[in-house]
Structure 1
């Protein structure tokens, strides 16, 4: 009996010694400051000196992370605030507003108009503006021609001078590129100031155009909604037409099937990515610095982001018209960071919102434009504005809420069900002409309407 007791005691002592040695070797750093070799993991790192975010192999401590707290009730409140159910009357009103081309009276039998595009070289890209006519759009554009030869300088109905081209050059270079002749100008001609970039890009050189030339313009063409011709980067009509209808104008699928197929293409909840951002301008303008700082904060706080562009040391060939880039299919994620390089610049909402987001069937998360400006032009229940949230944490939690709730997420896509009955061939949408050609078409209409108004005033003084 005593022998058995002694054996038991020895066994307990040996087991205790084993546990003690194990604790000393494995957790000795807790008591004596010795650290075990750390694991190497993949994680986002922010290089403060270059202001770039990149994924690199970096040592990381294994530590307990606080459990993420969620507040479903608060997210439901945000959702009710952002999504406004549409009545049948609302839907009819939106259909009329969205399908702009249908509201334009025909100009097919009106007089011919020639527009001279003065700077045919479109800037740093080196692309050339090509001459064209609008015969296939004659119903809405009327007989309308875009010409590029300066032999039309004295006879064209209007001359478009692009400030965007001039902003790429210094003042002496601009002078050498030569403006239209102001000394013997055709006084019946309209000179049009054209600008596509945000005003903030010229903040460093506000006097690119001298006052005399500035005073020569009598029409404007820009992203501003108070321009004579608003140069839209996109619109709901062309998005719906191209996503929901085929080339012959037939609806491709029912609303229910469209929603079902849309979700089949998306990464499921819990995947590595739910958001994309392609950006290369990190700090050229004050707005770019603001947006990049906001984006960095989102990444630091857990945004599940796929990124491309010089800001991330990951420059690729972008192919937005084909659904993303050479490396990544944008349609697989659910959100796109439509962050502009200008902050609260009146009406500046670019292709990041219309093309990168909507055309790739993503919900844009907006930063930069004033909420009122976005609300004025966006289709209903279509986007998330960062300024509608109390904090970055709330914004991220709401995106997570949508990521795991298909029903709630799809409410941001229902606006694509707003189309009139019958055929809607997308070739007939003015926006399908492209940004520049659409504005030329509208400029032809403007010139005819101004002439008609002037003629009427002379006939009935």
Structure 2
């Protein structure tokens, strides 16, 4: 209601302004429409409705851009994709990220994250005609045994987006990069081993299963060398801010994967070990898979020892040998490690590879391709 009309001496206290009820109706409709968006965290749709989330890509670049439509955000998302995200954040030009399904007819690539499909939260739009030249991409960062049954997707997808090196678009958890000359410290302590160690071996684990290979190795290893264990399994969880500082006090970290699958090397190596400054003891894919991606001389693979007991004895020797232990940090003089945690950056990588995609590729048996990694 208009306060100026209410306070007018010529208007009685019970007289209502003619526009009062329409205003109330407008307010009611607005609340009804907007509240569900806010309630379910879909604030980005409210921005679209208000016209506040439009791309700032120039018309010229828009015409030359590859449009990547993410059909649904992984694990609920979303991320802010306002503006020219790929160019501004990751120096990848002519790449347009969208999540508005109304743009489906103009999308060059439509990306579907497997977890939501597997759990039934989302479905493939098989009822929609696929525009000529449009490609559908299957995306997953899970090990093969956690991807569910992929047989129904035979002859559906044209591209795979995965941590695997043989995927159409490889999106690893991390990677080694040559160190920029200016990033060094003049040959001082760049390759020196951290000195704040107080524990020999530590392990952070929440999903403990006795049948896992990593559980069997741990059971035999701890009989030879003390292992400090953290995580929900032991009732000793670490808050996020304490994770790296805690691991940094350990000589070695058990970067044990829950799956021994091709190329499956997760943040256990890239973040927990390298960023904390502990030498990773790795168990997962074969040693050659690690050698292909990790900094040289930076890790110890379980398979390189005849037994877990033999490994344990070697770890005790290295913890007492300053020079031997320090040799596992020499890589820091020439290499650095980059983590990939932002789904936007992963999606932008599709544009980097777009021109190399085969024109008529389709995965006749996606399930077989995914299982080939085991």
TM-score in terms of structure 1 length: 0.59
Match status 1:225 vs 2:177: no
Counting only pairs closer than 5 Å after superposition, residues 57-456 of structure 1 correspond to structure 2 as: 111-120=64-73, 122-123=74-75, 126-132=76-82, 133-136=85-88, 139=91, 141-167=92-118, 169=119, 173-174=120-121, 177-202=122-147, 205-207=148-150, 210=152, 213-237=153-177, 250-251=182-183, 253-260=185-192, 262-264=193-195, 266-267=196-197, 271=198, 273-283=199-209, 289-299=212-222, 301-319=223-241, 324=243, 329-343=246-260, 345-418=261-334, 434=341, 436-450=343-357
Match of 1:15 in 2: none
CA distance in 2, matches of 1:138, 1:129: 15
In terms of fraction of residues, the more helix-rich structure is 1
User: What are the Cα deviations for residues 161-201 of structure 1, in whole angstroms up to 9, with x where unaligned?
Assistant: 0112323x1xxx35xx2313444111211111101000022
CA distance in 1, matches of 2:219, 2:176: 30
- How far apart are 1:110 and its partner, in Å? 10
- How far apart are 1:376 and its partner, in Å? 2.0
CA distance in 2, matches of 1:448, 1:235: 23
User: What are the Cα deviations for residues 311-330 of structure 1, in whole angstroms up to 9, with x where unaligned?
Assistant: 212123234xxx626xx532
- How far apart are 1:136 and its partner, in Å? 2.4
Match of 2:28 in 1: none
- How far apart are 1:433 and its partner, in Å? 6.2
CA distance in 1, matches of 2:134, 2:104: 10
CA distance in 2, matches of 1:193, 1:218: 8
Q: Calculate the aligned-residue CA RMSD, in Å.
A: 2.9
Aligned residues: 298
Match of 2:45 in 1: none
- How far apart are 1:158 and its partner, in Å? 0.7
User: What are the Cα deviations for residues 210-238 of structure 1, in whole angstroms up to 9, with x where unaligned?
Assistant: 1xx4312111111211101112110112x
CA distance in 2, matches of 1:388, 1:138: 38
- How far apart are 1:438 and its partner, in Å? 3.4
CA distance in 1, matches of 2:357, 2:77: 32
CA distance in 1, matches of 2:282, 2:63: 41
CA distance in 2, matches of 1:280, 1:148: 33
TM-score in terms of structure 2 length: 0.71
User: What are the Cα deviations for residues 262-285 of structure 1, in whole angstroms up to 9, with x where unaligned?
Assistant: 433x22xxx4x122211111129x
Q: 1:110 to 1:389 in 2, by over 3 A?
A: farther
- How far apart are 1:109 and its partner, in Å? 12
> Does the 8 Å CA contact 1:160/1:191 hold for their aligned counterparts?
yes
Question: Could you say which structure has the greater relative contact order, defined with CA pairs below 8 angstroms and 6 or more residues apart?
Answer: 2
CA distance in 2, matches of 1:127, 1:312: 30
Q: 1:110 to 1:400 in 2, by over 3 A?
A: farther
- How far apart are 1:385 and its partner, in Å? 0.4
> Does the 8 Å CA contact 2:67/2:98 hold for their aligned counterparts?
yes
> Does the 8 Å CA contact 2:71/2:101 hold for their aligned counterparts?
yes
